[in-house]
Structure 1
Amino acid sequence: MTFDSHLSELRYRMVVSVIFFLTTFCFCYYFSEEIYKFLLKPLAEVANQPERIAGLNSSFTLIYTGLTETFVVYLKVAFLGALLVSSPFFIWQMYMFIAPGLYPGEKKAFLPYLIAAPVLFILGCAVVYYYVFPLAWRFFVSFEYDGSKPGTLPIEFMPSVSEYLDLVVQFMFAFGIAFQLPAILTLLSHMGLLDHNVLVKKRRLSVVLIFIAAAVLTPPDVLSQIGLAIPMLFLYELSIFSCRYVSKKRTALEKESKENSEE
């Protein structure tokens, strides 16, 4: 292909991706209120527990202090939802653009990682939604106080719609990125840049780095950090097995290729 042909192909892939994203954005904005309610469900379940509302105002509401705050939140929900849904399509368009320049073996080796990346990201979001959110929200809400002691005032949880969305996005982004660990390490092993023995030898250092990464990616509370660190430790061990399998397979193929060349 000529340089102009590459530019035309790139332009086509970008235009198709933008059209797909805008279509998905409109669809997500139409359902933005329902999507936000879905994201709000873990907090609502924790906030309406009997032990929480004892001695407090039983009603629970989110507030917005800016005139356009809720509208902007729904736009963010639509944008992030469209970005999440469109990501596999973007990855596929990128692959279709670079695929003509790859050898058949490279295509076969590269394609599983393109599929694994969005799947692992969605899996990370699911873990944080169903496992971490209930624990984290219960911890944060536990700081409420009914003001029953003389000389004190009640402390009640009243989050804003934008602050809640920002916290949810921070959690989901952190877990989604963290869950890419097996795909990244396995890809490096497949390329011959990483050996599983290195991961085994550096396990202790990796544990420290994982907890540091969890502290950076999550809000500054111990519960959130541990909630991210534990899955990352599991994923690290999974990466060792995956890299070991890839290394053995690559070694066997290299040995077979060498024997064939000698014959």
Structure 2
Amino acid sequence: MAEEQKTGSGEDTFISHLVELRSRVVKSAAAIIIIFLCLMPWAAHLFDVLASPMMHALPAGSKMIATGVITPFLIPVKVTMLVAFIISLPWVLYQLWAFVAPGLYMHEKKLVAPLVISSSLLFIAGVAFCYFFVFGVVFPFINNFAPKSVSVAPDIDSYVDFVLTMFLAFGMTFEVPIIVIVLVRMGLVPLEKLKQIRPYVVVGAFVVAAVVTPPDIMSQLLLAVPLCLLYEVGLFVAPIFARATKAPEDVKSTVE
């Protein structure tokens, strides 16, 4: 009888967690959809803003093209959905934090909240760095190699796919300090070990940059160099963060 009650209690707890998870997912999705619907009247303008770095790099009078029948409608909608997701990212991450917070100790909550906030800010910073700096360097660099006999008119579908790939690459690159901090704080990899593998990280950074960026040295450098620098930032911040989020018993044993 006791085992049946224990099993029933476990099932109720599991179901309650599923209900809570569904509630958090619905709230996150609702925020994205609401912001998306509010931004839809400006979908064409949002695409123009996204296309601005390329348009400034093209010769005067050039325009981008759309080869699909419904592409002029679908691409601005895709861009608007991306903007809605970025705007709602803090709310989405808050819902994630609210879901896991009840099961955490107080010192663990000190770990989660700063990571949620900093990870969203770093991702947005990576996207902003890519848009305002990288595109302003890479697009003119690439278009200057076009032969004079070629009329450069990028397809908007291919352009948006390229931009989203670059945004994701730079957004994830700027998350490197968070990854280093989590590895050190959770005890998965010692800090000294992470310092020892610096040369391999540098090589890996350039390999990743060569895979996810266009085949030109400029864009590869603009991704690989920040990745290496952010890795060093993570190595510097990780021990500070680990000391600030120690469990009370860990602090007591350290003092003794």
Task: Report the TM-score, using the length of structure 1 for normalisation.
Answer: 0.85
Alignment-derived partner of residue 135 in structure 1: 137
Structure 1 range deviating more: 174-183 or 58-67: 58-67
- Checking the alignment, whether the CA contact within 8 Å between 1:64 and 1:162 is kept in structure 2 is yes
The offset of 1:183, in angstroms, is 0.7
1:43 aligned residue (54, 78, 82): 54
| Deviation by residue 1:126-183 (Cα, 9 ceiling, x = unmatched) | 111111101110111112233xxxxxxx112111111111111111111001110001
| Deviation by residue 1:108-130 (Cα, 9 ceiling, x = unmatched) | 11110011111001100111111
Q: What letter is aligned with 1:177?
A: M
Alignment-derived partner of residue 16 in structure 2: 5
- Checking the alignment, whether the CA contact within 8 Å between 1:32 and 1:74 is kept in structure 2 is yes
Alignment-derived partner of residue 29 in structure 2: 18
The offset of 1:214, in angstroms, is 1.2
Task: Report the TM-score, using the length of structure 2 for normalisation.
Answer: 0.87
Alignment-derived partner of residue 55 in structure 1: none
Alignment-derived partner of residue 83 in structure 1: 85
1:255–1:63 CA distance, 2 compared to 1 (3 A): closer
1:184 aligned residue (165, 179, 183): 179
Q: What letter is aligned with 1:142?
A: N
| Deviation by residue 1:59-112 (Cα, 9 ceiling, x = unmatched) | 211111111111110121122122222222222111111111111111111110
Alignment-derived partner of residue 117 in structure 2: 115
Query: In the alignment, does 2:156 pair up with 1:161?
Result: yes
d(CA) in 1 for partners of 2:234, 2:101: 26
- Checking the alignment, whether the CA contact within 8 Å between 1:196 and 1:247 is kept in structure 2 is no
Alignment-derived partner of residue 214 in structure 1: 209
Gaps of 5+ in 1: 49-57, 147-153
d(CA) in 1 for partners of 2:123, 2:208: 17
- Checking the alignment, whether the CA contact within 8 Å between 1:195 and 1:247 is kept in structure 2 is no
Q: What letter is aligned with 1:200?
A: K
Gaps of 5+ in 2: 1-11
The offset of 1:5, in angstroms, is 2.9
Q: What letter is aligned with 1:222?
A: I
The offset of 1:29, in angstroms, is 2.3
d(CA) in 2 for partners of 1:11, 1:40: 36
Alignment-derived partner of residue 253 in structure 2: 258
Q: What letter is aligned with 1:13?
A: R
- Checking the alignment, whether the CA contact within 8 Å between 1:25 and 1:82 is kept in structure 2 is yes
The offset of 1:254, in angstroms, is 6.6
Q: What letter is aligned with 2:118?
A: A
Supply the RMSD in Å over aligned alpha carbons.
Answer: 2.2
The count of residues paired between Structure 1 and Structure 2 equals 245
Alignment-derived partner of residue 65 in structure 1: 67
1:97 aligned residue (96, 99, 104): 99
2:170 aligned residue (164, 171, 175): 175
- Checking the alignment, whether the CA contact within 8 Å between 1:210 and 1:233 is kept in structure 2 is yes
d(CA) in 2 for partners of 1:253, 1:100: 18
Q: What letter is aligned with 1:45?
A: H
- Checking the alignment, whether the CA contact within 8 Å between 2:181 and 2:234 is kept in structure 1 is yes
d(CA) in 2 for partners of 1:256, 1:144: 62
| Deviation by residue 1:21-80 (Cα, 9 ceiling, x = unmatched) | 2112212322221211111122222224xxxxxxxxx42111111111111101211221
- Checking the alignment, whether the CA contact within 8 Å between 1:181 and 1:236 is kept in structure 2 is yes
1:250–1:165 CA distance, 2 compared to 1 (3 A): closer
